[in-house]
Amino acid sequence: MIIDIKNYYDNLIKKLNKDISNLEFKPKLSTIRVGEDPGAISYEKSILREAEKLNIDVKIKVFEKNTAEEEIEKYLVQENKSDTNGILIFSPMLVDFDQKHIFSKINPDKDVDGLSFNNFKNIFFEDDYINLPTTATATLNFLRDNFNLSSKNILLINRSLIIGKPLAMMLLNEDATVTIAHSKTLDVKNMMKDFDIIISAIGKAKYFQNVELKNDALLVDLGISEKNGKYYGDFNKDEFIDSSVNYLPAIGGIGRLNACFILRNTYMNGVKNDR
């Protein structure tokens, strides 16, 4: 069965709209993009669309790809001191210098995409997970709101700092049993039949095909990649149309929530930090 995330998305927007309408201030997000990366531009547009629905101001700054690191850092320091509630630097930045150094300069109280290591402690001490990587946060919230995670055996195929590692800890906090697989794990396909929930984010088009899975297993596809001008997930969506496996596709799935969670973090920062 293919899972349709539309109702969850609509309810999320509705709740955020209600919460934001009760504020005495208008949340503000500052975005920084370096270069003309198509993915970053697409994400920027989706954030603007969602921000308009939620009555959140977005200040956009675009630097040329040959901009000096010092210039970007100077602007970032300025935004850290401003009245904005959130700062988002689109990745990848089309530059040669150390991007992690730039990310580390974001004020942790405004770091809506969790790019600064200073915010990883939130995984251990909070259950709202503000200012952590949004794909991990959106995935956790969707799963927690729709399924019982306690005692579930979960296979997480990704160990990155923006998905696998933070999401693994979040799932452990929900009393799930988590196994992390990665590029060096042997025979991942054969492992899948033993898990209640599988979350994949390897980014290889239709990499997993005709894999044996448990009846009624939940499969969350987070991997998006381009092949011959089209975008695909890690799994072949067509295999699950009449299947007993519950499949949340990569295209139109969790990715649709990411912009909402950037703006949700912006709103929550404003409330938490008293604007």
DSSP E strands in 1-126: the ranges are: 28-34, 57-63, 86-89
**What is the pTM for the complete model shown?**
0.93
Angstrom distance (rounded) from CA 130 to CA 133:
9
Domain limits, the chain: 11-111, 134-255
Strands 177-181 and 153-157: parallel
Tell me the residue type at 83: D
Given this chain, do its domains 11-111 and 134-255 carry the same CATH topology?
yes
- What does the pLDDT look like over 8-62, one tens digit per residue? 999 999 999 999 999 999 999 999 999 998 889 999 999 999 999 999 999 999 9
Q: Provide φ and ψ at 210, rounded to 5°.
A: 55, 45
In this predicted structure, the answer to whether residue 275 has a pLDDT above a threshold of 70 is no
C-alpha pair distances (Å), 210 with each of 51, 188, 201, 222, 237: 40, 13, 18, 18, 11
Nearest to 251 by CA among 210, 206, 212, 211: 206
Q: Provide φ and ψ at 207, rounded to 5°.
A: -65, -40
Sort residue 196 into left (φ over 0), alpha (ψ -120 to 50) or beta: alpha
Q: How is domain 134-255 classified at the CATH fold level?
A: Rossmann fold (3.40.50)
Q: What is the CATH number of domain 11-111?
A: 3.40.50.10860
Determine contact, residues 254/142, Cβ cutoff 8 Å: yes
Nearest to 160 by CA among 195, 133, 190, 124: 133
- What does the pLDDT look like over 231-265, one tens digit per residue? 999 999 999 999 999 999 999 999 999 999 999 99
Q: Name the one residue in this structure whose structure tokens are 């696998």.
A: 164
**What is the helix (H) or strand (E) element at residue 47, kind and residue range?**
helix 38-54
